[in-house]
Structure 1
């Protein structure tokens, strides 16, 4: 699995989790959805994703460029 795929899975999970928490616990959990969305937008402009850095260090995942063999 590449970092890019792991980020998609993680972001999707966090959005679904925030929807469930918003409905079951408190409407304020909608801010978790906002945070995930803003982070995705920010990382598309800057190329820096904090979650990608953590996933690389914790699990040793490689980017799509690194995983392509010539």
Structure 2
């Protein structure tokens, strides 16, 4: 799996987990969804994603986007 696909999978998982937590645990978990969305938006413009940096350090092979 390349870094691009790993990032999309991680972001999608985080959004789904935050929605589930918002519905079943506390409405305050909506802020996790906001954080993930804001991070996706800023990485689209800057090309920098903190979790992509961590995954690179863990040895996930890079893809064309990151």
Deviation at 1:8, TM superposition (A): 0.3
Q: Which has the higher helix share?
A: 1
Partner of 2:12: 12
Scaled by the length of structure 1, the TM-score of the pair is 0.87
Q: Which has the larger Rg?
A: 1
Partner SS state of residue 61, structure 1: coil
Q: Where do 1:9-48 residues align within 5 Å?
A: 9-48=9-48
Runs in 1 of length 4+ with deviation above 4 angstroms? none
RMSD value, Cα: 0.8
Partner of 2:60: 61
CA distance in 2 between counterparts of 1:48 and 1:11 reads: 14
- Unmatched runs of 5 consecutive residues or more in structure 1: 66-70
CA distance in 2 between counterparts of 1:6 and 1:40 reads: 14
Deviation at 1:20, TM superposition (A): 0.5
Scaled by the length of structure 2, the TM-score of the pair is 0.92
